[in-house]
Amino acid sequence: MKILVLVSQTQDTEAKIHVSSSGDSIDTGGMKWIMNPYDEFAVEEAIQTKEKHGGEVVIISIGPDRVLETIRQALAMGADSAVHIKGDGFAETDSFTVGKVIGGEIKKLGEFDIIFTGMKIIDEESGQVGVQVAEELGIPHVSLVSKVIEVDPAGKKAVCQKEIDGGHVTVEVPLPCLITCPDAMNEPRYASLPGIMKAKKKPLTVVEAGDINLGELGLSAEALGKDGARVKTTQMKVPEIERKLTIIKGSDEPMVKGEEVERSAEELIKLLREEAKVI
């Protein structure tokens, strides 16, 4: 099977976030860049599919030089080769264009069976690119798949479980298809030391942004920059919610014990009724 995975690099949002001086973006200076956590699930699912059915896993990523590190991580986890679509302006490119550009490069790779992507990228949180790549390629997608029940390369179909409110659905989809991955669908493996060594020697194709034929994709010449974006971020705020931090503790040790328990329950209820007025 030929299995593709779209892998993006993201700012580590566990860190504290500051607005940049321009006021319309997050300051990325000194920020740690990591593989988008949802894409780790996508890579893991791809490798497991390969382990079951044979074939190859190809990583595709768009971004500046630094994304190479993330591509290497995916190769070290067990992917076989990668395509790096390289350029500096992609941070401001809209998802519609990113979807078209990725779709265009995928078409050049020839036939494939299945594409895995993350459900969304945790910095911008757009949650669009995967599905838009499927549209560009004219293949069906199943989004937010909690479990891939079966991939059947001979029967050319996959069966997936998807969570909906109040339950779940089982969906059958013909191959080739695209699947978007939420968390907890599997346990992403760590890159092993031999894996990391081998990753350096795996085939990597670099596509320069400047060499992409935008006209062929139906895109305008400005499509890759901020001015060509369908949607622009004009302001960025960091919400500061002041919390009261009224914490009831025990007198001898932090935990309330014995008769303190009763009293603390009463005190909390009083606060919720009289101060917060929520019960």
Partner 1 sequence: MSNEVWVVADLKIDGSVRQVTYEALSEAGQKIAGKLGGKLCGVLIGSGVSGHAASLGKYGAEKVYVIDNDILKDFNTEGFTIALSELIKKHEPAVVIGGNTVFGQDYFPRVAARVGAGVTMDAIDIDLSDQNTLKIQRYSHSSKAIPTQVFHQNYPMMTTVRPNSFKAVENPKDPEVVDGGVEINPADIKTRVIELETKESDRPELTEAERVIAGGRGLGSEENFKHVYELADILGAAAGATRAAVDAGYCPYDMQVGQTGKAVSPNLYVAIAISGSVQHFAGMGSSKVIVAINKDPEAPIFQKCDYGIVGDLFDVLPPFTAKVRSLVSEG
Ligand X SMILES: Nc1ncnc2c1ncn2[C@@H]1O[C@H](COP(=O)(O)O)[C@@H](O)[C@H]1O
| Positions that interact with ligand X (CB under 6 A) | 6-8, 36, 38-39, 42, 60-63, 90, 95, 98, 117-118, 120-121, 124, 126-130
Residue of minimal Cβ distance to ligand X = 118
Rank residues 182 and 195 by Cβ distance to partner 1 and give the closer one.
182
C-alpha dist (Å) from residue 174 to 134, 140, 190: 13, 8, 31
| Beta carbons within 8 Å of 56's beta carbon, 6+ residues apart | 1, 2, 3, 50, 80, 81
Rank residues 41 and 96 by Cβ distance to ligand FAD and give the closer one.
41
> Of 81-100, which residues contact ligand FAD (CB under 6 A)?
none
User: d(Cα 172, Cα 157) in Å, to the nearest integer?
Assistant: 7
Interface residue with partner 1, options 47, 122, 199, 207 (CB under 8 A) = 122
Are residues 159 and 96 in contact, defined by beta-carbon separation less than 8 angstroms? no
| Token code pair at residue 193 | 């030391």
Are residues 84 and 209 in contact, defined by beta-carbon separation less than 8 angstroms? no
Tokens 């009224």 sit at which residue?
Answer: 246
Total binding residues for ligand FAD by CB under 6 A? 3
Interface residue with partner 1, options 7, 58, 134, 224 (CB under 8 A) = 134
| Beta carbons within 8 Å of 78's beta carbon, 6+ residues apart | 47, 50, 57, 189, 195
> Of 56-115, which residues contact partner 1 (CB under 8 A)?
94-96, 99
Are residues 61 and 42 in contact, defined by beta-carbon separation less than 8 angstroms? no
CB of 216 to ligand FAD, least distance (A): 35
Give the range of 16-24, 64-72, 108-116, 209-217 binding partner 1 by CB under 8 A: 16-24
Q: Is 136 in the site for partner 1 (CB under 8 A)?
A: yes
Q: Which does 238 bind (CB under 5 to 8 A by kind): partner 1, ligand FAD, ligand X, none?
A: partner 1
> Of 177-216, which residues contact ligand FAD (CB under 6 A)?
183
